Chains A and B, each alone.
Chain A
Amino acid sequence: MELLECIHIYKNYDKKQVLKDINLKIPRGKIIGLLGKNGMGKTTLIKLINDLLTPTSGEILVNGKRVGVDSKKIISYLPERTYLDKSMTIGETLKFFNDFYDNFDIEKAKRLVKDLDLEIDTKISKMSKGMQEKLQLILVMSRNVLLYILDEPLGGVDPATRDYILDTILNNFNEDASVIISTHLISDIERILDEVIFIDKGKIILASDADKLREKEKGSIDEIFRRMFKC
């Protein structure tokens, strides 16, 4: 059984068609890049998979079952925008996550926070933007789930933070789980991807094994993407 399956997904906002006939199968144990320019439907697709939006038509199955309460337990989602309560300390935030999710590994989260040399009683409002993004990733990756969905985790971070984010993803996903990373910053991330999905104007244009695509098209994923979309 596939971990995630999207079957003939359409999504309209009023009369505007944002997603057109999306068909996807995501197996376990893979890191998948959902690649596309801004405004091409990546975030909408991610919100549908997280059951935060409802498709106009079509079906999304997670672990063989329609998305809903059960799928939320096994998907850990990093949205584009931060949702942390800035008046809380790191420790309070960890406890909040621990109360909220029964699969949250608070010991792991504490360890990762410690690796960053952050004090547990630091207020989030006192942390830099980069540190807040790292904390958010720690929270998401410290849940033991089957599917991690990271929406633009590299948006506006410096190269050191980028390396930290990639390492944290590689260190914390297990072979039963898959990771979907949406981004338009392809060259920064392509080295860790198993598979790539190109999305453009609400459609999937290409889905392939990353190394096979490099071999076939004789170039980096970033170049192939630029060639295709002339951006």
Chain B
Amino acid sequence: MNFIFDNDRPIYIQLVEQLEIYIISGKIKSGEKLPSVRDLALKTKVNPNTMQKALVELEDLKLIYTERTNGKYVTKDKKLLNKFKDKYAKEKTKKYLNEMQELGFMKTEIIEILKEDDK
């Protein structure tokens, strides 16, 4: 796992975002046990309190859950994971389209470019 932070935004929000991507991309597998807060904090080189805050947020989003006394696990809910995937797909696509349109491309042209790229 490799985390990059930007000091301009709350660190815990950036942690949530990056952990979210690790989870929905399957780099941290569905059902997998997460390392302890402390180990995660050491890996990402953040304060354990900040990591704890990020995990609470991920738990609120239901992307992870706590098994009593046993630690935290990534959700097994495939539907939920797909929902997050969709959300990301829409966001990224929108961003790409906006950037392309700013460069003066029409949607039809963009679709052609994508098809071309696929060949």
Contacts and interface: CB of A to CB of B under 8 A. Distances in A.
Interface of A: 29-31, 166-167, 170-171, 175, 187, 190-194, 210-212, 214-215, 218-223
Contacts of B7: 187, 190-191, 214, 220-222
A29 B42 CA distance: 16
A223 B12 contact: no
B45 A191 contact: yes
B14 to A, nearest CB: 10
Contact of A31 (B5, B11, B47): B47
Interface residues of B, number: 17
Interface in B18-60: 41-42, 45-50, 53
Nearest to B41: A170
B46 A214 contact: no
Nearest to B49: A194
A190 B50 CA distance: 12
B10 A219 contact: no
A223 to B, nearest CB: 7
B9 interface: yes
Contacts of A220: 7-8
27 contacts: A29-B49, A31-B47, A31-B49, A170-B41, A170-B46, A170-B47, A191-B5, A191-B7, A191-B47, A192-B45, A192-B47, A194-B47, A194-B49, A194-B50, A211-B11, A211-B12, A211-B13, A211-B50, A211-B53, A214-B8, A214-B10, A214-B11, A215-B9, A215-B10, A219-B8, A221-B7, A222-B7
